[in-house]
Chain A
Amino acid sequence: MFSKEIQNQVNNLLSRYPIKQNALIPILLLAQKENNGWITEEWMQHVADCCEVPLTHVEGVVTFYTMFRLKPPGKYHLQVCTCVPCCLVGGTEILEYTEKKLNTHAGYTSADGLFSIEEMECIGACSYAPAMIVNEDYHEQVTPEKMDKLIDKLSK
Chain B
Amino acid sequence: MAEETLVLFKNIRNPKYSKSLEGYKKAGGYQTLKKVFGMKPNEVVQTVKDSGVRGRGGAGFPTGLKWSFMPNGTGKPSYLIANADESEPGTCKDRELMLKDPHLFLEGMLIGCYAVGCHHGYIYIRGEFFPAIKSLNTAVEELYADGLLGPDPLGSGFHLDLTIHSGAGAYICGEESALLDSLEGKRGQPRVKPPFPAISGFNGCPTSVNNVETLACMPFILGDGGVEAFKSFGPENNSGTHLVSLSGHVNKPGVYELRMDVNMKDIIYGIGGGIRNGKKLKGVIPGGSSSSVMTADEVDVLYNFDELANIDTMLGSAAMMVFDEDTDVVQLLHRITRFYAHESCGQCTPCREGTHWSRNILRDFLNGNGSDEKLRRLDRVGGNMLGTTLCALGDAAALPIQSFVKKFPDDFRKYYANK
Contact = CB atoms under 8 A, between A and B. Distances in A.
A21 B185 contact: yes
A121 B90 contact: no
Interface residues of A, number: 44
Contacts of B253: 126-129
A82 B360 CA distance: 18
A111 interface: no
Contacts of A51: 185
A104 B419 CA distance: 36
A23 B122 CA distance: 12
Interface stretch (B43-51, B228-236, B332-340): B332-340
A19 B168 contact: no
Given A61-B187, A129-B247, A83 B128 contact: no
Given A29-B168, A133-B128, A124 B187 contact: no
Contacts of B248: 85, 88-89
A84 B249 contact: no
Contacts of B182: 25
A84 B186 contact: no
A18 interface: yes
Interface residues of B, number: 53
Contacts of A84: 89-90, 285, 289, 321, 332, 335-336, 339
A137 B130 contact: yes
Contact of B203 (A22, A57, A87): A22
Contacts of B130: 133, 136-138
Nearest to A135: B130
A122 B90 contact: yes
Interface in A106-156: 120-129, 133, 136-138
Interface string A44-72: 00000001010001001100111110000
A124 B168 contact: no
Contacts of B171: 121-122
A129 to B, nearest CB: 6
Interface string A68-84: 10000000000100111
B255 A25 contact: no
A4 interface: no
Interface string B146-163: 000000000000000101
B86 interface: yes
Interface string B339-363: 1001100000000000000000000
Interface string B168-181: 11110000000000
A68 B187 CA distance: 12
A8 to B, nearest CB: 15
B183 interface: yes
B88 interface: yes
B402 interface: no
A28 interface: yes
A96 B332 CA distance: 17
6 contacts: A16-B161, A68-B168, A87-B332, A124-B126, A126-B89, A127-B253
Interface of B: 77, 86-92, 94-95, 126-131, 161, 163, 165-171, 182-188, 203, 245-249, 253-255, 285, 289, 319, 321, 323, 327, 332, 335-336, 339, 342-343
